[in-house]
């Protein structure tokens, strides 16, 4: 069942991006061939906010142009003036999840250095990832060793879309799918290193952990993560939704209470975002 979910998420939605947005494709943010990103630009961009997206795929597969990663999000938010950035990163077995998080950090640094060239404001930045991509985003937002503290100040917050991997140590210490063995090995030190819950500190940016109530472990992981973050004074929130793992990604941006809840979180991060979001419904 878990493999069926994974492959429907990746291969069932692998299509070229659907959008009338102006697109800059395959911009290199590093030397590796996989280290590329796409930028979707609104018709007019002037100090536009940025939504930065990291795809999932069990740390092994996936692509920045997947239908479920791009379509609904671009159609909703780029039309409202956002710049949408979707990245690729090196995969297993070529590299490991911690270095993948390093790729995400490197892409963010590239974005912050070049975003003014696209008419975007690097200080109006929201970071988002799905599944394995959400795990990588959680590491970048929590592990001070991965990202420069000054650059982190420009990030307004993060959205974790259905990551069941916020506490790798807990996963590996219990019965778990084999995909985690391939990603995280047998070393408890590495498990802790790749567990965002172990890196939480009081200066972590606001985060929203979205979880599927249809899955066994996602909401339990999100709840434990949010609970610990709050004890440290972090603005951390949990949103459980009755959607599948795939739908949490693919449906985001469609007209729905789910999308409105995400926008409510984004709106709370910075008053400037309200000018780039549809008015909240009562």
Provide the mean pLDDT of the chain: 93
Output the pTM of the full model: 0.93
Q: Which residues contact 208 (CB under 8 A, 6 or more apart)?
A: 157, 158, 159, 160, 236, 237, 238, 239, 262, 265
Q: What are phi and psi of 58, to 5 degrees?
A: 60, 30
Give me the pLDDT at residue 2, please.
41
pLDDT digits (tens, 9 = 90+) for 15-62: 334 445 699 999 999 999 999 999 999 999 899 999 999 999 999 999
Asked if residue 183 lies in contact with residue 177, where contact means CB atoms within 8 angstroms, the answer is no
Give me the pLDDT at residue 21, please.
64
C-alpha–C-alpha distance, residues 23 and 20, integer Å: 9
In this structure, the dihedral spanned by the alpha carbons of residues 7, 12, 13 and 16, taken in order and rounded to 10 degrees, is 120
**Superfamily of structural domain 2-276:** Alpha/Beta hydrolase fold, catalytic domain (3.40.50.1820)
Sequence spans of domains, the chain: 2-276
Confidence category of residue 221, pLDDT binned at 50, 70, 90: very high
């Amino acid at each position: 069942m878990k493999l069926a979910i994974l492959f429907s998420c990746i291969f069932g939605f692998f299509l070229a991006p659907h959008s009338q947005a102006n697109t800059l494709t395959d911009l290199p943010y590093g030397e590796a061939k996989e280290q590329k990103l796409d930028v979707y630009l609104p018709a007019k961009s002037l100090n536009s906010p940025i939504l930065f997206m990291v795809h999932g795929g069990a740390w092994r597969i996936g692509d920045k142009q997947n239908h479920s990663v791009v379509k609904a999000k671009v159609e909703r938010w780029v039309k409202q003036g956002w710049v949408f950035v979707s990245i690729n990163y090196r995969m297993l077995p070529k590299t490991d999840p911690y270095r993948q998080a390093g790729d995400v950090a490197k892409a963010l640094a590239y974005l912050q250095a070049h975003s003014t060239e696209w008419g975007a404001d690097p200080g109006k930045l929201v970071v988002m990832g799905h599944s394995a991509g959400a795990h990588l985003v959680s590491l970048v937002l929590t592990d001070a060793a991965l990202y420069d503290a000054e650059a982190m100040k420009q990030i307004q917050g993060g959205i974790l879309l259905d990551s069941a991997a916020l506490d790798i140590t807990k996963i590996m210490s219990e019965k778990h799918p084999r995909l985690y063995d391939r990603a995280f090995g047998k070393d408890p030190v590495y498990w802790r290193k790749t567990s965002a819950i172990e890196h939480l500190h009081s200066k972590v940016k606001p985060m929203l952990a979205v979880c599927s109530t249809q899955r066994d472990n996602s909401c339990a992981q999100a709840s434990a993560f949010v609970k610990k973050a709050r004890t440290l004074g972090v603005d951390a929130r949990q949103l459980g939704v009755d959607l599948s793992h795939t739908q949490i990604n693919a449906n985001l941006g469609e007209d729905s209470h789910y999308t409105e809840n995400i926008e409510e979180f984004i709106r709370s991060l910075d008053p400037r975002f309200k000018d780039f979001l549809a008015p909240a419904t009562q």
